[in-house]
Structure 1
Amino acid sequence: MEKSEKIEKDKNAQSTFSKNIFVLGAILLASFIMRMLSYASLTADGGITFTGYDEFYHMRRILYTTFNFPHFLNFDTYINYPYGFEVGWPPFFDLLGALLALVLGGGQPDTHTVEFAGAILPVLLGILTIIPVYVIAASVFDRRTALVGAFAFAVLPAHVYVSRFGTVDHHVAEVFLSTVAYAFFILALKLAGESKLSLSSLKNVSSDKKLISPLVLSAVSGLFFSLLIFTWVGAPAFVSFIVLYALVQTTLDIKAGKESDYLFICSAATLFATLLFTIPLSAGAVRQGLEMSAMYLSWFQVVYVLIMLAGIFLLWGFSAFVSKKGMDWKYYPGVLIFISISGILFLRMFSAEYYAFIVEGLRFFSGKGEYISTIAEAVPLFLTGQGKLTFSAVLGSFGPSFLVALAGFFLLILESKSEKSKPECIFFLVWTLFYAYLALSQRRFTYLFAVNVSILTAYTLMILLDSLDFEKEVRKLVKPGKKTEKNSESIPQTGKKVSLKTRSKSKIRQGTESKGKTAEPDYFKLVSGVALIGFVFVSSIWIGVAFAKDATSIGPEWQDSLEWLEASTPETSYYLEPSETPEYGVLSWWDYGNWIVYVGKRPAVSNNFQTGVEDSANFFLTDSEEEAKTIIEKLNIKYIITDTLMAEGKFSAITEIAGKNISDYYEIGTVKENTGLRTVVTPKKAFLHTQIYKLHKLDGTSLGNFRLVHESAMNTTENESGKENTVKVFEYVKGATFSGTVNPNETVMATLELRSNTGRTFVYQKGDVADEKGLFEITVPYSTESTGNGVHATSDYSLTAGENSTLTEVQVTENDILNGSRIELNIPD
Structure 2
Amino acid sequence: MSTDTEHVEEDTETPFLETWREWYHVPVIGVVVLFMFLARIRSYDRFVTEDGTPALAAVDSWYHWRTIQWTAKNYPGTMPYDVWTGFPTGHYVGQFGTLFDQLIVTAAMIVGLGSPSTETLYTVALLSVPAMAALVAIPVFYMGRRLGGTVGGLVSIVVLALAPGTFFYRSMVGQLDHHTAEVLFMAIAMLAMMVALRVAEREKPIYELVVDGDWDALREPAIYSVLAGLALSLYIWVWPSAILLIGIFAVFFAVQLCLDYVRGVSPDHVAFVGAVSMGTTTVVTTLLIEDGGAGLNVSSFGYLQPLAALLVAAGVVFMAWLARQWNDRGLERRYYPVAIGGIIAAVLVVMMLALPNLYDTFVGNLTGRLLPLDPSTGALTVREAHPPGNFTAHVFDEFGAAFYTMLAGLGFLIARPFLGREYRAEYTLIVVWSLFLISMSMTQTRFAYYLVLAVAVVNAVFVADVVRLFDLSGTVQSLQDVETYQVIVFVLVIVLLFAPLLPPMAAAGSTAWDRGEQSQPSSDAMIWEDSNHWLAENTPEPGNYGGAGNESELEYYGTYDYPEDGDYDYPEGAYGVMSWWDYGHLITVQGERIPHANPFQQNARSASAYLTAESEERAELILEAIAAGEPVADRSTEELRDAVENADESHEQQRYVMIDYATAGGKFSAITAWSGPGYGHYVTPADYQSGESIPVEEIGERFGNLPYDNTTTSRLYFDDAAGMEHYRLVHENDAFTPTYISYAITRNGQVATNENGQPAVAINRRVTQQVQLELQQLQSNPNLDVQVFDQRQAAAVKTFERVEGATLTGSLDDQSVIDDENAAVYAQVELETGTNRTFVYTQQAELADDGSFEVTVPYATDDELGPDDGYTDSSVEAVGDYAVFVGTPDNGTIQQHYAGETAVPETAVVDGDTVDVTLEQTDEVVDDPDANETTDDGNETSEGDGDSAANETETNETDAGNVSSSLEPVAARTAR
TM-score > 0.5 by shorter chain = yes
Instruction: State whether structure 2 residue 718 is matched by structure 1 residue 697.
Output: yes
In 1, the alpha carbon distance for the partners of 2:131 and 2:443 equals 28
Residue 771 of structure 1 aligns with which residue?
Answer: 848
Of the three residues 505, 518, 527, the one matched with 1:549 is 518
Residue 72 of structure 1 aligns with which residue?
Answer: 78
Instruction: State whether structure 2 residue 156 is matched by structure 1 residue 86.
Output: no
Residue 565 of structure 1 aligns with which residue?
Answer: 535
Deviations 1:186-229 (A, max 9, x none): 12223333455555778897557xx7444322221110111223
The 5 Å alignment of 1:53-202 reads 53-89=59-95, 91-156=98-163, 157-195=165-203, 198=206
Of the three residues 310, 322, 344, the one matched with 1:318 is 322
Of the three residues 31, 37, 41, the one matched with 2:46 is 41
Using structure 2 for the length normalisation, give the TM-score.
Answer: 0.72
Residue 640 of structure 1 aligns with which residue?
Answer: 657
In 2, the alpha carbon distance for the partners of 1:205 and 1:141 equals 34
Deviation of 1:798 (Å)? 2.1
Structure 2 vs 1, CA of residues 206 and 390 (structure 1 numbering), >3 Å: closer, same or farther?
A: closer
Instruction: State whether structure 2 residue 445 is matched by structure 1 residue 443.
Output: yes
Of the three residues 821, 826, 837, the one matched with 1:760 is 837
Residue 491 of structure 1 aligns with which residue?
Answer: none
Structure 2 vs 1, CA of residues 753 and 394 (structure 1 numbering), >3 Å: closer, same or farther?
A: farther
Of 345-354 and 654-663, more deviation after overlay is shown by 345-354
In 1, the alpha carbon distance for the partners of 2:320 and 2:55 equals 52
The 5 Å alignment of 1:14-25 reads 14-25=19-30
Q: Is the 8 A contact 1:79 1:604 kept in 2?
A: yes
Deviation of 1:809 (Å)? 4.7
Q: What is the percent sequence identity of the aligned residues?
A: 26
Of the three residues 248, 252, 265, the one matched with 1:245 is 252
Deviations 1:636-665 (A, max 9, x none): 122110012212232223222213222211
Deviation of 1:598 (Å)? 0.9
Of the three residues 658, 662, 687, the one matched with 2:675 is 658
Deviations 1:313-350 (A, max 9, x none): 11212233445555444422221121112112222333
In 2, the alpha carbon distance for the partners of 1:299 and 1:10 equals 56
The 5 Å alignment of 1:458-473 reads 459-460=461-462
Instruction: State whether structure 2 residue 799 is matched by structure 1 residue 732.
Output: no
Aligned to 2:656, the other structure's residue is in SS state: strand
Deviation of 1:295 (Å)? 4.8
Residue 382 of structure 2 aligns with which residue?
Answer: 375
Aligned to 2:238, the other structure's residue is in SS state: coil
Aligned to 2:839, the other structure's residue is in SS state: strand
Structure 2 vs 1, CA of residues 245 and 359 (structure 1 numbering), >3 Å: closer, same or farther?
A: closer
In 2, the alpha carbon distance for the partners of 1:697 and 1:423 equals 64
Q: Is the 8 A contact 1:644 1:726 kept in 2?
A: yes
Structure 2 vs 1, CA of residues 553 and 400 (structure 1 numbering), >3 Å: closer, same or farther?
A: farther
In 2, the alpha carbon distance for the partners of 1:84 and 1:520 equals 67
In 2, the alpha carbon distance for the partners of 1:333 and 1:718 equals 65
In 2, the alpha carbon distance for the partners of 1:78 and 1:144 equals 51
Structure 2 vs 1, CA of residues 119 and 318 (structure 1 numbering), >3 Å: closer, same or farther?
A: same
Q: Is the 8 A contact 2:901 2:917 kept in 1?
A: no
Structure 2 vs 1, CA of residues 434 and 468 (structure 1 numbering), >3 Å: closer, same or farther?
A: same
Structure 2 vs 1, CA of residues 737 and 207 (structure 1 numbering), >3 Å: closer, same or farther?
A: closer
Residue 343 of structure 1 aligns with which residue?
Answer: 347
Residue 966 of structure 2 aligns with which residue?
Answer: none
Instruction: State whether structure 2 residue 306 is matched by structure 1 residue 302.
Output: yes
In 2, the alpha carbon distance for the partners of 1:416 and 1:806 equals 98
The 5 Å alignment of 1:201-600 reads 212-282=219-289, 285-286=290-291, 294-323=298-327, 325=329, 327-365=331-369, 366=371, 372-380=379-387, 382-383=388-389, 393-415=394-416, 417-420=418-421, 421-457=423-459, 459-460=461-462, 514=480, 529-530=494-495, 533-538=498-503, 539=506, 542=510, 544=512, 545-546=514-515, 549-555=518-524, 556-572=526-542, 573=551, 574=554, 575-577=556-558, 579=560, 581=571, 583-600=574-591
Q: Is the 8 A contact 1:562 1:599 kept in 2?
A: yes
In 1, the alpha carbon distance for the partners of 2:854 and 2:166 equals 59
Q: Is the 8 A contact 2:402 2:498 kept in 1?
A: no
In 2, the alpha carbon distance for the partners of 1:682 and 1:451 equals 52
Flag structure 1 segments of 5+ consecutive residues without an equivalent: 384-388, 476-483, 485-509, 673-680
Deviation of 1:520 (Å)? 14
Structure 2 vs 1, CA of residues 762 and 117 (structure 1 numbering), >3 Å: closer, same or farther?
A: same
Residue 729 of structure 2 aligns with which residue?
Answer: 708
**Which amino acid is 2:406 matched to?**
A
Deviation of 1:423 (Å)? 2.3
Deviations 1:387-429 (A, max 9, x none): xx57665455444543443444445444564453332222111
In 2, the alpha carbon distance for the partners of 1:298 and 1:140 equals 36
Deviation of 1:72 (Å)? 2.2
In 2, the alpha carbon distance for the partners of 1:337 and 1:516 equals 50
Q: Is the 8 A contact 1:714 1:758 kept in 2?
A: no
Of 352-361 and 773-782, more deviation after overlay is shown by 352-361
Deviation of 1:162 (Å)? 2.4
Deviation of 1:354 (Å)? 2.9
In 1, the alpha carbon distance for the partners of 2:175 and 2:811 equals 61
Residue 609 of structure 2 aligns with which residue?
Answer: 618
Of the three residues 745, 749, 771, the one matched with 2:826 is 749
Of the three residues 880, 901, 906, the one matched with 1:814 is 906
In 2, the alpha carbon distance for the partners of 1:75 and 1:766 equals 43
Structure 2 vs 1, CA of residues 14 and 259 (structure 1 numbering), >3 Å: closer, same or farther?
A: farther
Deviation of 1:359 (Å)? 3.6
In 1, the alpha carbon distance for the partners of 2:366 and 2:492 equals 48
Using structure 1 for the length normalisation, give the TM-score.
Answer: 0.84
In 1, the alpha carbon distance for the partners of 2:491 and 2:303 equals 59
Aligned to 1:374, the other structure's residue is in SS state: coil
Larger fraction in helix = 1
**Which amino acid is 1:824 matched to?**
D
Aligned to 1:729, the other structure's residue is in SS state: strand
Structure 2 vs 1, CA of residues 628 and 141 (structure 1 numbering), >3 Å: closer, same or farther?
A: same
Instruction: State whether structure 2 residue 797 is matched by structure 1 residue 793.
Output: no
Q: Is the 8 A contact 2:405 2:497 kept in 1?
A: no
In 1, the alpha carbon distance for the partners of 2:881 and 2:213 equals 96
**Which amino acid is 1:771 matched to?**
A
Aligned to 1:710, the other structure's residue is in SS state: strand
In 1, the alpha carbon distance for the partners of 2:192 and 2:182 equals 16
Q: Is the 8 A contact 1:667 1:684 kept in 2?
A: no
Q: Is the 8 A contact 1:254 1:323 kept in 2?
A: no
In 2, the alpha carbon distance for the partners of 1:528 and 1:220 equals 36
In 2, the alpha carbon distance for the partners of 1:534 and 1:619 equals 52
Deviation of 1:61 (Å)? 1.9
Of 391-400 and 653-662, more deviation after overlay is shown by 391-400
Structure 2 vs 1, CA of residues 57 and 749 (structure 1 numbering), >3 Å: closer, same or farther?
A: same
Count residues in correspondence.
773
Give the CA RMSD over aligned residues. Answer: 3.8
Q: Is the 8 A contact 2:609 2:676 kept in 1?
A: no
Of 408-417 and 726-735, more deviation after overlay is shown by 408-417
**Which amino acid is 2:108 matched to?**
A
Q: Is the 8 A contact 1:641 1:728 kept in 2?
A: yes
Q: Is the 8 A contact 1:416 1:425 kept in 2?
A: no
